[in-house]
Amino acid sequence: MTTLFVSDLHLEDARPAVTDLFLRFLREEAMRADALYVLGDLFEAWVGDDDPSDAGAAVAAGLREVADAGVPVAFQHGNRDFLIGHAYAARAGMRLLPDPAVVDLYGTPTLIGHGDQLCTDDAAYQAFRRQTRDPAWQAGFLAQPLEARLAFARQAREASRAHLAEVGAGPGGDVTDVTPATVEATFARYGVVRMIHGHTHRPAVHALDVGGVARTRIVLGDWFDQGSVLRVDGDAVRLSALG
């Protein structure tokens, strides 16, 4: 049996083919897994559990079928869908996990998370993250009418694109990628030898030496042009694309 990890699907009504690909993945593979973990940015935007998107409704039904088949489904918030709440999680049959969290994968404690907390060189984004994760800010936002929240989400997407264009690459390196010192400190803080995350859209398996100990950092890919799935089966780790 296999435990599956995905992140950064960025599903939205404007990209129905990708939603269909994910639903097919749920039906054809996730139904047979030991567990499914979604490490954030399942949706391009989420304005509250009354979000009216067709993608949100279809994905909730698809995940519920997986959960009803006896496969545990767990979700961690990303930087796009941090407002997914308990109501939607209940509809989808998924358990909300803190970010980060340590899970036992076939005897190996593994740190999992969306990954945006590791990008500490991007000070502007980290300030935005602190603001939007504040319970008081979230309560105030969710109290607004649906149309106002949808308008905010559109503006936030445009601001995000502009920010990425401005800071993406420069003389000091790419601040949208993880900060190596933060990765090392995170490994040391949690005392694990393996980390799995998304967010950066740079799929890879990195071998590291932290404090004289061999560690592995696995980065999940996005679902813009294809699907990206990590399969963990005992000691075997396979990161591959779905066509």
Task: Give me the residue spans of the domains in the chain.
Answer: 3-242
Q: Look at residues 133, 118, 119 and name the one whose alpha carbon lies nearest to residue 189.
A: 118
CATH class of segment(s) 3-242: alpha beta
pLDDT of 76: 98
Q: How far apart are CA 99 and CA 185, in angstroms?
A: 16
25 three-class SS:
helix
Entry pTM: 0.94
How are beta strands 194-197 and 35-38 bridged, if at all?
unpaired
The Cα-based distances of 178 to 81, 144, 182, 183 in angstroms read 20, 34, 8, 7
Q: Annotated binding residue at 240?
A: no
- Which residues lie across from 35 on neighbouring strands? 3
Give CA torsion, residues 11, 29, 230, 133, to 10 deg. Answer: 40
pLDDT of 174: 55
pLDDT in tens, the chain (243 residues): 899 999 999 999 999 999 999 999 999 999 999 999 999 999 999 999 999 999 999 999 999 999 999 999 999 999 999 999 999 999 999 999 999 999 999 999 999 999 999 999 999 899 999 999 999 999 999 999 999 999 999 988 888 777 776 665 433 345 579 999 999 999 999 999 999 999 999 999 999 999 999 999 999 999 998 899 999 998 899 999 986
Residues 65-106 have pLDDT tens digits of: 999 999 999 999 999 999 999 999 999 999 999 999 999 999
pLDDT of 170: 38
Q: Annotated binding residue at 199?
A: yes
Q: Annotated binding residue at 134?
A: no
Q: Annotated binding residue at 114?
A: yes
Q: Annotated binding residue at 8?
A: yes
Angle, in degrees to the nearest 10, between helices 123-132 and 146-167: 160
Q: Annotated binding residue at 235?
A: no
Q: Annotated binding residue at 77?
A: no
Give CA torsion, residues 173, 179, 180, 183, to 10 deg. Answer: -160
Q: Annotated binding residue at 122?
A: yes
